[in-house]
Amino acid sequence: MKKALKVAAVLATAASFMLTGCSDPGAGSGTQNNGPATWPAANSDLKGTKLTIWAAQNSNKVPDSVVAGFEKLTGADVNVVTIPDPYEQGIQTKVATGDKPDLAFWQPTGSQLTALNATTNLQSLDGAPWIDSTKPALKDITGILDKTRYAALITTPAVEGVYYNKEVFEKAGITTAPKDWDSFIKLGRDLKAKGVTPFYEMGKDRWATQWWVHVQLADAAKDGLWDRVNTNKEKFTDPTIQGAINTYSGLIKEGLFNDDIKTATFEDQADALLAGKAAMAVQVNSFFTQLQSKTDTATLNKKIGFFPIAPSGNIGTFIPDQSNALVAFKTGDAKREAASRQLLSYWLGDGYADFVAKQSTISLQDGVKTPATVPDALLAVSDSLDSAVGSMQTKAIANPDLYIFLADMIQGTKTPEEVAKATQDQFAQLAKAQGAAGF
Amino acid sequence: MTAVMSPQDVSRVEDTSKARRHGGKRGGKNDHPLWFLIPALAVLVVFFFIPTLFNFIYAFTNWSSFKSAIGFTGLDNFITLFNSGTLLNALRVTLVYAVLVAIFQNLFGLVLALLLERDTRVNRAVRVAFFIPVIMSALAVGYIFQALLKPEGALNGILSFLTGNHVSIAWLGDTTWTIVVVALVHAWKWMGLSMLIYLAGLKTINDDVLEAARLDGASWWTTFREIRFPLLAPAVTFNVATALLGSMNGFDVVQATTEGGPGGSTELLNIFIFRTFGQGLFAQATTMSLVLFLAVAILAFPLIRMLRKREDVL
């Protein structure tokens, strides 16, 4: 009995110690100064300064040419560390436990900047030297949270839209791409009548399912839908978003999608579109990267086209991803923080032309030319950015697992109403955790 | 987020209870001073007890990746979780999965042990072959099976060849049966361990007893049912407990094969926890892991007690 009491006493003491020490280890180590930072010249000497960049498995080669150029110019030592997938989860966990790099690839959307607790953990990039040289339409498109710039966009953000097989269209006698949602769906029905599978969806890999809902919400998003959702004035279960989910469900039930929608994967989707087994797929840029890994630019230019779609017309829905942007962390070491800013201004300044050429990607700056090797479809994607609106991830304060719930709907374990409810519940939970007003 | 009860823990529980039973004979000899425990205890406290305790504390807070401050919220996390229904569904899936794995793993292990009981050269080699999956990475096993079980995978290829028709069954795409398939994969990976323990159990059975049974004219099946299986009770205790409680903590095989799909039908609690943690809701994830801990504990004690009761025949 005495022994039990002793054990209880020890446990109680230990617990009280822990209760007092119960604070977030990721907090408070950064510099608290939020004023505009100084921007060192891109060629300032940085001998002996070590910088760490965290990158994902699909973005760890992106900085190669920039890092080499920067190291040569300044004498800094830049180390790119690959964080294994799931990348975002890995980084959030590391940052929450107090482990921070100098720079990291990060999805520059409001929801993902919030998830990283940007105000505490990230450097403000306001007044950065590259902003003036960026194309006007892309300047403030993303990377901003509560009027502060936290992310530097290095490549064009991904756009959700329709990738189609030009040869299938041609065979069916279609010469112009649909101009709005109704003609888009009518085209699907016409193609089906001709024995072609109009749309291809990857139900097993799940993540692309949400694009079908997002693109239908483009007009509403322009009209402030996500502002209302963010303040709990409108819900996922209200007619606008519920309606988009219902439409998607209806199209699947109508048989406008591939027969193997439940088991099809991302790779299957790319193969099917390339082979002309299906006419169209609503997808983002990484889908095109997948196509590029299967064939060359000439074939892609011949076979694959892109058009944006929304209820009212050809409006794209943009969704920048992790490989599109970088954030700079508050590490508490003023010298390294300045060096991080210097690296970014080199990347988007003197080093940008070389970067764009080496990556054969579209330039974000009028002063730097896009290389001729960029495929047509990607140019079409980039063109659509001028009028594009942000997706849920870009505009909403939290990013619920809508895609998982939609995939459940495809498998038949959730009704469209249950999808909306599950999404709303999760969104409310996340918003509440952030301390958002109205939740 | 610590593992709740690994096979080692269960064997530790068994060892201590055994030690208690024989304690009377060994006591008095003071050849192990208590302070010898300190190094091991220190490691255990720092890396197991304290994290577990933190697990309990954070469950009652609003710790997340969005804010630096952590505040106590009482039972808020528990109420939200139980109200949403997803937690209960994940618990149900976890239980079904664990029971399936326990049945399959023990059935396969026992059959293998009986088949490979004799110490011939061939049997030794085959035992090694069946033990190899145990030491393989669970994720690697999962990914290999995921490839084999695809609609266009090798298994359907073999079936197509044998039946002469094109077979394209989505083994991992059925909302009812996929959990059975994944449980089979999990059981396949661990059946070598069960086999080893059953083999060891079979070896401890006294030859005299078996000879007496033979002289009485008992058939193989009668001998097995009436003598060998009851005498295997300690091995059954260990195998059933480790398989059931170990698979309650299952994650890797399911993550690699289905990621909780299709339609959430294989979403174990650990996968749900992983997803919630990834959303930045650290406190909610911790609450779930506390619920899992409690579920395993509630299940473990009566189960081990019941299985040990069977050993009273010894």
Domain spans, chain A: 38-155+321-368, 159-318+392-434
Q: Do B64 and A27 touch (CB under 8 A)?
A: no
Can you point out the beta strands (E) in A385-437? 389-390
Q: Does residue A238 sit in helix, strand or coil?
A: coil
Pairing of strands A197-199, A278-283: parallel
Task: Indicate the pairing of strand A325-328 with strand A103-105.
Answer: antiparallel
Chain A residue whose CA is closest to B83: A425
Residue A19 at interface with chain B, using a CB cutoff of 8 Å = yes
Q: How many angstroms from the chain centroid is the CA of residue A374?
A: 21
A419 interaction partners in chain B (CB closer than 8 Å):
none
Q: Is A397 near chain B, with CB under 8 Å?
A: no
pLDDT at A71: 92
Q: Which DSSP state fits B119?
A: -
Residue A429 in contact with partner chain B when CB distance is under 8 A: yes
Residues of B within 8 A of A27 (CB-CB) are 68-69
ipTM over 0.85: no
Cβ–Cβ gap A204/B277 under 8 Å: no
Q: Which residues of A touch B175 (CB under 8 A)?
A: 411-413
Q: Mind listing the pLDDT tens digit for each residue in B13-33?
A: 444 444 444 444 444 566 778
Selected residue with higher pLDDT from A296 and B85: A296
CATH 3.65.10.10 matches B86-313 = no
Q: Please, which residues bridge with residue A300 across strands? A: none
Q: Is the pLDDT of residue A178 over 80?
A: yes
CB within 8 Å: B279 and A93? no
CB-CB under 8 Å, B67 with A117: yes
Burial class (CB in 10 A: 0-12, 13-18, 19+), B264: buried
Q: Does A436 touch chain B (CB under 8 A)?
A: no
**pLDDT given for residue B174 in this prediction:** 87
Tokens of A82: 């690959």
Our CA angle for A236, A242, A245, nearest 5°, is 115
Q: Do A434 and B67 touch (CB under 8 A)?
A: yes
**Percent of chain A at pLDDT exceeding 90:** 59
Q: Cβ separation of B175 and A95 shorter than 8 Å?
A: no
Nearest chain B residue to A121 by CA distance is: B68
Q: Which of A24, A422, A430 sits opposite B68 (nearest CB)?
A: A24
Tokens of A425: 């519940």
CB < 8 Å to B282, chain A: 96
> Of A19, A117, A408, which has the smallest distance from its Cβ to B68's Cβ?
A117
Structure token pair of residue B160: 């197509």
Q: What is the mean pLDDT of residues A324-342?
A: 92
CB contact under 8 A, B68 and A120: yes
Q: Answer whether residue A215 shows pLDDT above 90.
A: yes
- Taking the CA of residue A207 and the nearest CA in chain B, the distance in Å comes to 12
Among A18, A93, A263, beta carbon nearest to B57: A18
| pLDDT value, residue A282 | 96
Chain B, nearest residue to A26 by Cα: B68
Counting as low any pLDDT under 70, the low residues of chain B are 1-30
Contacts of A404 in chain B (CB under 8 A): 264, 275
**Residue A114 contacts B, CB cutoff 8 Å:** yes
pLDDT tens sequence across A411-435: 999 999 999 999 999 999 999 988 8
Residue A198: pLDDT above 60? yes
Interface of A with B in 177-216 (CB under 8 A): 203-204, 206
3-state secondary structure of A2: helix
Given A23, A26, A204, which is nearest B173 (Cβ)? Answer: A204
Chains A–B, number of C-beta pairs less than 8 Å apart? 112
Residue A71 at interface with chain B, using a CB cutoff of 8 Å: no
Do A159-318+392-434 and A38-155+321-368 fall under one CATH topology? yes
Cβ of A430 within 8 Å of Cβ of B280? The answer is: yes
| A92 and B CB contact within 8 Å | yes
B210-224 pLDDT per residue, tens:
999 999 999 999 999
Give pLDDT tens digits for A87-130: 888 898 888 888 999 999 999 998 899 888 898 899 999 988 88
CA distance B142 to B189: 9
Domain extent listing, chain B: 86-313
Give the residue on A whose Cα is nearest the Cα of B149.
A263
- The highest-confidence range among A146-155, A231-240, B282-291, by mean pLDDT, is A231-240
pLDDT of residue A181 exceeding 90: yes
Mutation test of the interface with chain B: which of A263, A330, A427, A432, choosing the one with the most B Cβ atoms within 10 A? A263
The SS3 call for residue A63 is coil
How high is the pLDDT of residue A408? Answer: 93
Mean pLDDT, chain A, rounded, equals 88
Contacts of A172 (CB under 8 A, 6+ apart): A190, A191, A194, A196, A279
Determine whether the interchain pair A22/B70 forms a contact, defined as Cβ–Cβ distance below 8 Å: yes
Given a cut of 80, whether residue A228 has pLDDT beyond it is yes
Substitution target from B1, B55, B57, B65 for chain A, most A beta carbons within 10 A: B65
| Proportion of chain A above pLDDT 70, given as a percent | 92
Q: d(Cα A132, Cα A143) in Å, to the nearest integer?
A: 15
Q: Do B264 and A408 touch (CB under 8 A)?
A: yes
Instruction: List all residues of chain A from 21 to 60 with a beta carbon under 8 Å from chain B.
Output: 22-24, 26-28
* pLDDT bucket at A3, cuts 50 / 70 / 90: low
Q: In this model, does residue A2 exceed pLDDT 70?
A: no
SS3 call for B75: coil
For residue A397, what is the nearest residue in chain B, using CA coordinates?
A: B66
Closest CA to B264 of B142, B97, B141: B97
Give me the residue label for tokens 């079908």: A212
Nearest to B210 by CA among B195, B196, B226: B226
The CATH label, of 3.40.50.300, 3.30.60.50, 3.50.50.60, 3.40.190.10, for the domain at A38-155+321-368 is: 3.40.190.10
Multiple choice CATH, A159-318+392-434, 3.30.300.30, 1.10.10.60, 3.40.190.10, 3.40.50.300:
3.40.190.10
Alpha helices, DSSP H, located in B151-281: 154-163, 178-203, 207-215, 220-223, 229-231, 233-248, 252-257, 269-278
Residues of chain B contacting A96 with CB distance shorter than 8 Å: 65, 282
Between CA B127 and CA B131 the distance in angstroms is 6
Cα B179 → chain centroid: 15
Q: Does A18 touch chain B (CB under 8 A)?
A: yes
- A401 interfacial to chain B (CB closer than 8 Å): yes
Compute the CA torsion angle B174, B180, B186, B192 (nearest 10 deg). Answer: -140
Q: Does pLDDT of A86 surpass 90? A: no
Mutate: best of A22, A32, A410, A418, partner B, most B CBs <10 A: A22
What are the distances in angstroms from CA A148 to CA A118, A125, A343? 10, 8, 20
Q: What pLDDT is recorded for position A170?
A: 94
